[in-house]
Amino acid sequence: MQIQNGKIWVEEDSTDLGIVDDLLAAGIPKTDIILGFHHPSKRALTEFAIA
């Protein structure tokens, strides 16, 4: 996970803990989280930021 241009990039979420779920529970909006493990063409199909 890293922060670039004010967005949180999650490159991998293969744990049972669910990193993205923890970010959302902490109050971070979906528009500030980029699911880097999805292909760029698929990111637009989610409710999360595209980049």
pLDDT digit string, tens, across residues 6-23? 999 999 877 777 899 999
- Tokens representing 37 are 């493990």
Give me the pLDDT at residue 5, please. Answer: 94
Report which of residues 1 and 7 the model is more confident about: 7
End-to-end Cα separation, the chain, in angstroms: 14
Report which of 51, 19, 29 is spatially closest to residue 38, judged by C-alpha positions.
Answer: 51
Record the pTM.
0.85
Calpha distance 9→35 (Å, rounded): 6
Report which of residues 51 and 40 the model is more confident about: 40
Give me the pLDDT at residue 10, please. Answer: 93
Query: Do 11 and 37 touch, CB atoms closer than 8 A?
Result: yes
Q: What is the mean pLDDT of residues 21-48?
A: 93
